[in-house]
Amino acid sequence: MVEKIKKTEAEWKEILTPEQFQVTRKHGTERAFTGEYNNNKADGIYRCVCCGNELFTADTKFDSGTGWPSFWQPVREDSVIYKTDVSFFMKRTEVLCGACDAHLGHVFDDGPKPTGKRYCMNSVALDFEPQK
């Protein structure tokens, strides 16, 4: 089970860059094809930039062509949580960190097998730990 992490807005601002804060705490989005991990092909694990929670492994990452790092499955069922997002005149499923509720991106039903899911994440919301 993931342990919940709570901080004030001021505490998050102290540890995050302005872009990380805007995306993860204010539900922003980085521009497509600009993120550090969009083309990353190294083996390792992707963690939440806010709290370090394990989110995705490199072996579930795929090139979706969307301009954001995409994965077909999280590390564990409780690594992420889901929330209905009705912003921008559309209904989507928002993906949040299961530990600290950081906004990570959205999940769609147009991904590859075996899950058919596309977890479309913001690079700035992720920290990558290369496999040793």
Active site residues: 120
Give me the numbers of helices (H) and strands (E) for the chain, helices first please. 2, 9
* Cα–Cα distance for residue pair 41/63, rounded to 1 Å: 10
The alpha carbon of residue 18 and the mean position of all alpha carbons in its chain are separated, in whole angstroms, by 17
Question: H-type helices in the chain, by residue range?
Answer: 9-15, 18-24
Cα distances (angstroms) measured from residue 5 to each of 48, 79, 80, 101, 112:
12, 13, 13, 8, 32
The edge-to-edge listing of strands for the beta sheet with 118-121 is: 61-62, 70-71, 118-121, 103-108, 92-97, 80-85
